[in-house]
Chain A
């Protein structure tokens, strides 16, 4: 029962580098989402997906791309890292509300862009 697996746990990037944060869930959840957590602010939605092949932008999508080729995986790509993207990132998954479920979160990725 792995739940939501998010990798890596820590990452340091140089400005301009690209990278992919991985997120996988084994609960057959339709809804997956990425958030960033910054000091003094609530988690903010970056991108989300309601099923394979369907993605949409959240509150703070600029500088990030996502894809959802399978139900299980929802990677987040940083195209050209900037210091403003230094943050803690969380992936989450759940069933859509009609099935009524808790939200499950990954362990987080602490990203530093220098």
Chain B
């Protein structure tokens, strides 16, 4: 079983929909990262969380340390949000363990 599990693996949405991507992990962590990867592109960090909730524009990330679960929400989704979203957990050794990613496609 992977130490970091994401769901769903693939997600399609109509423009304007509210989107939720989930991440569950089974190891102790010091922080959790949400990353974005566009097709053929590099990886960009969206959030780093160790507790609670963070918001940046239309993106919201939450984490529940007790339940070992995090969610990434996108409000009023747009076709430019189409990308792969990756959850990664940081261990106390600073090593990152990555989920396999959620491929999101938003259609006009």
Contacts and interface: CB of A to CB of B under 8 A. Distances in A.
Interface residues on chain B, size class:
20 to 34
Interface residues on chain A, size class:
20 to 34
B100 interface: yes
Main secondary structure of the interface of B (DSSP, over half): strand
Interface string B26-42: 00001101010000011
A106 B33 contact: no
B49 to A, nearest CB: 11
A48 B95 CA distance: 8
B30 A97 contact: yes
Interface stretch (B13-21, B63-71, B74-82, B86-94): B86-94
B100 A42 contact: yes
Interface of A: 31, 33, 35, 40-45, 48, 50, 58, 90, 92, 94, 96-97, 100-108
11 contacts: A41-B100, A42-B4, A58-B95, A90-B43, A92-B43, A97-B90, A100-B48, A102-B33, A102-B45, A103-B96, A108-B42
